[in-house]
Structure 1
Amino acid sequence: MDLARHWAQAGQPARTLPHAVQAAVAAEGVYAFAEALPLWERAAAIVEDLAGEPAVAGRDHAELLTRAGDCALLIGEPKRAVNLLQRALVHMFPSGDPERVRILENRLRWHLWWSGQRADAVAAVEAAVAAIPAEPPSVARSRVLGQLAAVRMFAGDFAASAAAAREAIDVGRRAGAMAETALAHGVLGWDVAMLGDIDGGIAEYRKGQEIGEAIGSVEGAALAATNMAALLDRVGRSEASLEAATAGYALTERLGVARTYGAILLGHAAKALLALGRWDEVDGVTASGLRRGAVDAGAAWLMINRARVFTGRGRFDEAARLLANARAIDERVGGTDYRTALLAAEAELATWTGRLNEVLDLAEAGLAAFALSGTPDPSLAWLAALLLRALADAREDPGRARRPVDEALAARSGQVLRKVEAAIEGVVGNPGFVSGERARALFALTNAERDRVRGSSSAEAWREVARAWSGLHRPYHVAYARLREAEATMAARGPRDAASAALAEAAEIAGRLGARPLADLVARFAAQARIALPTAGSAGASPPTHQNERGPNDLTAREAEVLRLVTEGWTNQQIAEALFITRKTASVHVSNIMGKLGASNRAEAAAIAHRLGMVNEPATTGSAIADGGVPAG
């Protein structure tokens, strides 16, 4: 790299070229893709300027651009990757090498998908399937069949996807296409699991993962690890998903893709920890990933799961900031794979804060997403359960009788409810969703909430919900179900000791988690029912203070105030004047803040504060995530 820089400064592009390529190869060799990218781009620019320059170490202009595009995708810049590959194709067509063109077109389809241009990617896949002959077996045919299988899988047509994946595996084996075979095994594993054979699907997926790791593909190994964690999460196996995500993240750190694939894996780890009731760990995992510069989809996924913990603990303003940042990313990149999870997280916050109209908006957005994809998605089931809960909460609101009836809201609520109930009925029996204990627990929850909406809540139904979530080791949902069980027991004039036991368990779990809003509901109902909760560990009276209760880095109220001014660019003197303190005191506060945030300067402290959702998001333009301008948490 030093030699490349030397000749570049000397104005000797021809001498710069081989050293730039050599430095790019070396950077890739240690997985430093962010450093390799500008070197490949520089080499390509030199070749373009030096018209007629021969290939460097066997790499022509198109190859240099292709390598740059691959690096761009690996560091989380898919749109830049698409641009580089499109330029490479322009330079490759005159070569007259159809196999090279097909390989590059394949990579472009992949990059289009990850850049959010999915309609273009699907059209390109379908055209390629029609254009590439079935015989003789070829790498290109196996590759495009694998992509067709993936497209069908994302559309929720798991049977058709499985058929295309099996054909891709057959063609790939006959053509010696190991990477393509690995991809197809991964897609087939997902299909088989979604069609009801969860263990068979996981076993199939592991075949592809083993092939990908054996051939040493950075992208293949990272993608396989990410999708394994996602598959295990999708079928409700949180412990296994956490284990896979943890191991996968360690792999991405070694491969140099921790900001992209690694961030997504940390998001899955956070989701599993959240489900398992290990909320303090969610705080640490998400903060770590966001501080390390997670980008785009990975950053949004971390924000969503971090926000859910904040919502559960009653830190509603911080949760709202995180979700707003996640939505901004989702909209900027044209939609992420976590949009439905974002809708559910937003609905959860809106439900806790009593904003029924907003929950209705989100439910309608979820219905639109379901109609567009046709894919049964657990996040949409959560969204349906939250809508039902919000409607039941509004029905049971004790202040309802004292307010004038909002006819428009009532009519809209009824319309959305009917649509959601029809969607729920539509997915019953769909193998893409109704598989596994988690799916059954979700349906038990939605059915119990529907009974609440109708005014016929059943203690036995809520006991069944609690049992289902207990078997999955989901303490928060157990606590919520036990609260509703106690309410239904008392409403039916059932045994007080049963209601008391249910409330005691709900209070203990809510206190242990630091779930203050739920703890408050438990305490309020216990007081109304004149049921005494146990003093020790009673969440309703005084939930235990967790290590991170005041914020992710335990800032004092004054430090939080100073931090807000620091993020707005104020000097120590300006802060001192505004807060009526001395300049030295302001400086001490700033130093303490930087120490707690692990920041080396004020700009870094401001960036970390934005990423952790500690202050409001400033207006930005362009892809601000990459340069630290947008908070990643």
Structure 2
Amino acid sequence: MSATAASEMVGRDAELALLHEALRRAEEGQPASLLVAGEAGIGKSRLTTEFRQRLADDATVLTGWCLDYGSTPAPFGPLPAILRGVLAELGERADDAAGPSRNALQLLLPDPAGTPLDRSTVHPEALGETIANLLEAASSIRPVVVIVEDLHWADAATLSMLSFLLRALAGRRVLFVLTCRTDEVRRGGAVRTFLAESERARLLERISLARLDAGAVRELAVGLRGPLDDATIAHLVQRSEGVPFFVEELVCNAEGPLPDTLRDVLLARFDALSEEARRTVRLASACDGAIAHDLLAAVSGRGGESLDEALREAVIAGILTVRDDESYAFRHALLREAIHDDLLPGERARLHRAYAEAIQAAGGAASSLAFHWYQAHAPEQALRAAVDAMQQAKDSYAFSTAARFGELALELWDQVPDADDVAGIERIPFLARLGSILRNGGDAERALTVATLALDELDPQTAEPAVHARLLRDRALYLQNLGKTGTVESLGEALAVLDGSPGEDRLRASLLNYLSGRYLTSARLTDAIETTDEAFSIAQAAGFDNAMSVAENLRGCSRIHLGDVDAGLADLRLSWQHASDHDAQLRYRVNYADALHNLGRFHEAVEVAELGVAHSRRLGVERATGSVLAHNLVEPLIELGEIDRAEEAMSRDLALRTLPIFRVYSTMSRIRILVWRGRMAEAARLLKEWRPVAAAISQVERQVWFSLRNVELLVSLGDGDPTRAAGVLADVIEDRGPHLAQVSRLLLEGARVVTDLRVDGRQALADDTARAVAAAWNARPEALRIPHWDTVLTAMLSGDATALNAALPVVDNDDVPAIFRPVLQLELARLHLADGDRAAAAEHAMVAAQYADALGHRPLQQRVLAFSRDAGLARVTRPGESVGAAAPTELTAREQQVLDLIAEGLTNRQIGERLFISAKTASVHVSAILRKLGVSSRTEAAVSSRR
């Protein structure tokens, strides 16, 4: 009997409502993307089809399919169809909407005019930025729904792109709907990792499709066949187990005995076809997804009416469906799998060979050729196609997919005589290229394995020194990415191999710079400077500007960490002058922003990082490379108390980073923000999860050691445990390892540890800690004892009210971390209360509360509230609310300055710019002035000032 899928969807009203609700939220600018999950045959595609049909003209719907090409899927499988749809939607506006890197689209959609792509003009991350620009532009016309079917077959490049787009377009009028057979996603696989990361980051909400109950099975079966007796329905319920696809297949064979196995169920309708139709369907089973009519005709060796009739019969029988008016696909993947698996081994190999020959004759994709030649047991052709597919995927920056083709080629290599000639590349260079691809794809462990294999196979006696040195360099970089030891040794060996080789000055200069970078991160600062001096001299003689820029950059950072700040900053300025390409310029901005942050020049650090973000925007990679630069904003923004902006910058970390060395830094900043927000359980959980990783990496990355100590100290203070914090601080002070500039900021945090110890009644420990901190501070290089930090630290360690009062104007400067504004006020409140001056204590507690509220620092808000309540001041009832007697009317010197500017009509931002303080700090002063003067508006305050 002929049949198709049920015309009316059954049992999915609730799930359909969730899809429409998600679209409504997306229209309102809320992140709302969905994962439709369920087993094979459960109705995922049926649900998305119904959703698409009901949208009509209310939204632009773009659909792409992930294809099952075995272990080596084509890169970016669903994206071409999605791109063609959005380009059609935008029409003439598409070119402008694509942005500065519009030519990156040729990586997926070749230029119709045949113009070759100049890859030197395309940044590796520009493709994602361009696609995001197009979807964002289309969403300004009407909401956009992007449906990606069969995510369980997605290649790594597609997963990486989806991860990027989900983050880049969160909050836009774009809804992503991904369907996936979650029961077929293997543990530890790329799809499982993508889903776990996306759901944990709340980028995807899951809709799980359950099996139909007996009532829904009856409704579906009756809709397909008409009235059925209870016995037949009961049999359907039992056999189908509520899977809609099985119900459809079984009910179409209800007139005969019901098959015992699913395979028989799936093949029953196929067996009812004519011989010609069965032959055609068998041919089609070798291709998943859409198969073009012309390709099917070429493989079948026939065309015209004979092929059309066979295809028409298969479509009417509900085995094939017409897609895009020019191709065919199986109605369900299980059908294709069952028919393909039913082929005899020799028959299957011949079929794949026929496909490979037809695709090759038509100049088709190397990825398809690699798959079909491999399935045809033709290792020579498969090797050649796999190497070509690897290179094509690499050229499209689909590194993870390129790696899978490369590993397929590696598997085939030993099966092919004269493999070097067949592949068009010798084995050692091939391994070097594969290692680089694996590293860029995020698999540094596998990259290290491949590089080690290449070095094991290389004969040092006959190999070219440059080839040998580059392999050693690669191994060093992969070890570095993994945070493992051995990097310095590998680079030293590479330099030794290159010693005496003429014409390799550029490579030698680069190796020296890599070595200097390792010395810098491990805090071997003198070695770093000596190495960069040598690198600079060689690069200068060779006219290699970029290597000169890197050498000056690294030398400047090393000098700053040693306390030779002026010379270090001068080196960094020279680094900019020699940065002749975008990579060197962006690297300069990354390191210069970090140096400024370490020196307490927080506003300048933010400005430099923002220039880097703007630079990445001009290159068309703002959401990609720009996200790394945006993360450089996070630490100085935290110090300035701009936590909302810091969280926004954190959200730009769009890629799913698999290399621990990259993720550990952003994780430490994330913990700091969680502590600030008072989300201590999350902070502690994240610290516990990442401490082993950070501890391992800190063996080779000294700055990670200090970063880990910093968050441990902050979590301890946030938990109200200054004793534990004092222990962390003691570890830093007593550590005999080399110190970096970060130590100064950690010692400044010691002031908070000492004051909290005093509050807890741990006076002896407080005194010991204060002496230790003071001694360590005074032992720092003078240029790293930042003057305003010195004033605040000395005052807080002394516990003297006069010194603390003298520090009040200093703490308002933006090169002092904003956290010390409420901390200093609270300490003064405690001292005044101890002296019996309750009015002064209440005044300082009130200002501390206002500062803590303005900063949104939840632990400090709670501490100020607890202090005021325990002291019986009753002036602060909860964060942000004040009650009680009028405060003293005398203004501080800073408040008088602010009042004068209020009288001039300046806004809070303008006041901040005039006094070199933040707008939030100015707002706190304005609130205090209004309260002290007993007025309710800035106008009344201005009038009072004139009086």
TM-score over 0.5 for the pair: yes
Task: Please report how far the alpha carbon of residue 101 of structure 1 lies from its aligned counterpart in structure 2 after TM superposition.
Answer: 1.0
Task: Write the letter of the residue equivalent to 1:181.
Answer: M
- Residue 393, structure 1, aligned to residue 762, structure 2: no
Find the counterpart in structure 2 of residue 161 from structure 1: 528
Cα pair distance change 1:242/1:256, threshold 3 Å: same
- Residue 18, structure 1, aligned to residue 384, structure 2: yes
Question: How far apart are the structure 2 equivalents of 1:393 and 1:26?
Answer: 60
- Residue 519, structure 1, aligned to residue 861, structure 2: yes
Aligned partner (choices 450, 459, 465) of residue 797 of structure 2: 450
Preserved CA contact (<8 Å) 1:351 1:390 = yes
Cα pair distance change 1:310/1:115, threshold 3 Å: closer
Preserved CA contact (<8 Å) 2:876 2:882 = no
Find the counterpart in structure 1 of residue 679 from structure 2: 315
Cα pair distance change 1:476/1:113, threshold 3 Å: same
Task: Write the letter of the residue equivalent to 1:342.
Answer: L
Task: Write the letter of the residue equivalent to 2:675.
Answer: T
Task: Please report how far the alpha carbon of residue 511 of structure 1 lies from its aligned counterpart in structure 2 after TM superposition.
Answer: 1.1
Find the counterpart in structure 2 of residue 103 from structure 1: 470
Task: Please report how far the alpha carbon of residue 37 of structure 1 lies from its aligned counterpart in structure 2 after TM superposition.
Answer: 2.3
Preserved CA contact (<8 Å) 1:17 1:46 = yes
Aligned partner (choices 343, 353, 356) of residue 709 of structure 2: 343
Preserved CA contact (<8 Å) 1:17 1:43 = yes
- Residue 467, structure 1, aligned to residue 832, structure 2: no
How is 1:516-555 mapped onto 2 (pairs within 5 angstroms)? Answer: 516-527=858-869, 533=875, 538=880
Aligned partner (choices 546, 549, 572) of residue 202 of structure 1: 572
Find the counterpart in structure 2 of residue 555 from structure 1: none
Preserved CA contact (<8 Å) 1:226 1:265 = yes
Task: Please report how far the alpha carbon of residue 189 of structure 1 lies from its aligned counterpart in structure 2 after TM superposition.
Answer: 3.2
Find the counterpart in structure 2 of residue 585 from structure 1: none
- Unaligned stretches of 5+ in structure 2? 1-366, 884-947
Question: How far apart are the structure 2 equivalents of 1:419 and 1:536?
Answer: 36
Measured against aligned partners, the alpha-carbon deviations of 1:598-624 in whole angstroms (never above 9, x if no partner) come to xxxxxxxxxxxxxxxxxxxxxxxxxxx
Find the counterpart in structure 1 of residue 482 from structure 2: 115
Question: How far apart are the structure 1 equivalents of 2:515 and 2:709?
Answer: 28
Measured against aligned partners, the alpha-carbon deviations of 1:492-538 in whole angstroms (never above 9, x if no partner) come to 677956x6654443222211232222123333444566667589983
Find the counterpart in structure 2 of residue 427 from structure 1: 780
Cα pair distance change 1:540/1:2, threshold 3 Å: farther
Cα pair distance change 1:160/1:458, threshold 3 Å: farther
Question: How far apart are the structure 2 equivalents of 1:486 and 1:62?
Answer: 71
Find the counterpart in structure 2 of residue 612 from structure 1: none
Question: How far apart are the structure 1 equivalents of 2:620 and 2:439?
Answer: 14
How is 1:187-266 mapped onto 2 (pairs within 5 angstroms)? Answer: 187-194=554-561, 195-197=564-566, 199-207=569-577, 210-213=579-582, 226-245=590-609, 265-266=629-630
Preserved CA contact (<8 Å) 1:228 1:244 = yes
Measured against aligned partners, the alpha-carbon deviations of 1:152-201 in whole angstroms (never above 9, x if no partner) come to 43354545533432321221132354553343132123235442126424
Cα pair distance change 1:43/1:96, threshold 3 Å: same
SS at the partner of 2:425?
coil
How is 1:474-485 mapped onto 2 (pairs within 5 angstroms)? Answer: 474-485=817-828
- Residue 303, structure 1, aligned to residue 667, structure 2: yes
Find the counterpart in structure 1 of residue 437 from structure 2: 71
Task: Write the letter of the residue equivalent to 2:679.
Answer: R
SS at the partner of 2:419?
coil
- Residue 87, structure 1, aligned to residue 453, structure 2: yes
Preserved CA contact (<8 Å) 1:7 1:13 = yes
SS at the partner of 2:516?
helix
Find the counterpart in structure 1 of residue 539 from structure 2: 172
Cα pair distance change 1:447/1:73, threshold 3 Å: farther
How is 1:285-300 mapped onto 2 (pairs within 5 angstroms)? Answer: 285-286=649-650, 289=653, 292=656, 295-300=659-664
Preserved CA contact (<8 Å) 2:556 2:569 = no
Task: Write the letter of the residue equivalent to 1:479.
Answer: P
Task: Please report how far the alpha carbon of residue 86 of structure 1 lies from its aligned counterpart in structure 2 after TM superposition.
Answer: 1.7
CA RMSD of aligned residues (A): 4.0
Preserved CA contact (<8 Å) 1:142 1:180 = yes
- Shifted more, 1-10 versus 189-198: the winner is 189-198
Question: How far apart are the structure 1 equivalents of 2:692 and 2:378?
Answer: 44
Preserved CA contact (<8 Å) 1:3 1:16 = yes
Preserved CA contact (<8 Å) 1:193 1:201 = no
Question: How far apart are the structure 1 equivalents of 2:450 and 2:605?
Answer: 35
Task: Please report how far the alpha carbon of residue 240 of structure 1 lies from its aligned counterpart in structure 2 after TM superposition.
Answer: 4.1
Task: Please report how far the alpha carbon of residue 473 of structure 1 lies from its aligned counterpart in structure 2 after TM superposition.
Answer: 7.0
> TM-score when scaled to structure 1?
0.69
Question: How far apart are the structure 1 equivalents of 2:607 and 2:441?
Answer: 24
Cα pair distance change 1:445/1:63, threshold 3 Å: farther
Count of aligned pairs? 509
Question: How far apart are the structure 1 equivalents of 2:875 and 2:508?
Answer: 66
Task: Please report how far the alpha carbon of residue 320 of structure 1 lies from its aligned counterpart in structure 2 after TM superposition.
Answer: 0.8
Preserved CA contact (<8 Å) 1:347 1:387 = no
Task: Please report how far the alpha carbon of residue 223 of structure 1 lies from its aligned counterpart in structure 2 after TM superposition.
Answer: 5.1
Task: Please report how far the alpha carbon of residue 363 of structure 1 lies from its aligned counterpart in structure 2 after TM superposition.
Answer: 2.8
Task: Please report how far the alpha carbon of residue 87 of structure 1 lies from its aligned counterpart in structure 2 after TM superposition.
Answer: 1.7
Task: Write the letter of the residue equivalent to 2:399.
Answer: F
How is 1:365-404 mapped onto 2 (pairs within 5 angstroms)? Answer: 365-367=731-733, 370-372=735-737, 374-378=738-742, 380-397=743-760
Measured against aligned partners, the alpha-carbon deviations of 1:293-336 in whole angstroms (never above 9, x if no partner) come to 56523333233222222222322111111222221432465655
SS at the partner of 1:475?
coil
Task: Please report how far the alpha carbon of residue 203 of structure 1 lies from its aligned counterpart in structure 2 after TM superposition.
Answer: 1.5
Find the counterpart in structure 1 of residue 645 from structure 2: 281
Question: How far apart are the structure 1 equivalents of 2:754 and 2:576?
Answer: 43
Task: Write the letter of the residue equivalent to 1:425.
Answer: N
SS at the partner of 2:813?
helix
Cα pair distance change 1:32/1:44, threshold 3 Å: same
- Residue 186, structure 1, aligned to residue 540, structure 2: no
Aligned partner (choices 469, 494, 517) of residue 150 of structure 1: 517
Cα pair distance change 1:26/1:45, threshold 3 Å: same
Task: Name the structure with the higher strand share.
Answer: 2
Task: Name the structure with the higher helix share.
Answer: 1
Question: How far apart are the structure 1 equivalents of 2:395 and 2:620?
Answer: 10
Question: How far apart are the structure 2 equivalents of 1:252 and 1:329?
Answer: 30
- Residue 41, structure 1, aligned to residue 407, structure 2: yes
- The structure showing larger relative contact order (alpha-carbon pairs under 8 Å, at least 6 residues apart) is 1
Task: Write the letter of the residue equivalent to 1:485.
Answer: L
Task: Write the letter of the residue equivalent to 1:464.
Answer: A
Task: Write the letter of the residue equivalent to 1:30.
Answer: S
Cα pair distance change 1:78/1:32, threshold 3 Å: same
Preserved CA contact (<8 Å) 1:182 1:207 = yes
Question: How far apart are the structure 1 equivalents of 2:691 and 2:654?
Answer: 16
Task: Please report how far the alpha carbon of residue 366 of structure 1 lies from its aligned counterpart in structure 2 after TM superposition.
Answer: 2.7
Question: How far apart are the structure 2 equivalents of 1:43 and 1:319?
Answer: 44
Determine what percentage of the aligned residue pairs are the same residue. Answer: 21
Task: Write the letter of the residue equivalent to 1:161.
Answer: A
Preserved CA contact (<8 Å) 2:400 2:442 = no
Aligned partner (choices 374, 388, 396) of residue 30 of structure 1: 396
Question: How far apart are the structure 1 equivalents of 2:864 and 2:857?
Answer: 11
Preserved CA contact (<8 Å) 2:631 2:652 = no
Question: How far apart are the structure 1 equivalents of 2:414 and 2:611?
Answer: 43
